[in-house]
Amino acid sequence: MSKSAANPAREQALRDSLLVRFAAAAAAGNIDTKKALNHEATYLGIQLNKSEGLTPGIH
């Protein structure tokens, strides 16, 4: 994770937050929110699909 955090606890908290918000958006079928969260993850340098075994693509 390059841009977001220097400390692992903060990095994990950011990743966890993104995962929770993405799951809620996916459950609600909110494509716009899923897109926004993917952009946020990209900006922060978090690759949710690789690090968490998920593919949070816009489906």
Per-residue pLDDT of the chain in tens (59 residues, 90 and over written 9): 455 456 889 888 998 999 999 999 999 999 999 999 999 999 988 876 644 445 455 44
Q: Note whether residue 40 is domain-resident.
A: yes
Domain that holds residue 15: 8-48
Q: Note whether residue 59 is domain-resident.
A: no
* CA end-to-end distance (rounded Å), the chain: 25
Is residue 30 within 8 A of residue 58, CB to CB? The reply is no
Q: What is the pLDDT of residue 58?
A: 46
Q: What is the DSSP string of 3-32?
A: SS-SSHHHHHHHHHHHHHHHHHHHHHT-HH
Q: Note whether residue 55 is domain-resident.
A: no
How many domains does the chain divide into? 1
Q: What is the pLDDT of residue 49?
A: 60
pTM for the full model? 0.67
Q: What is the pLDDT of residue 50?
A: 47
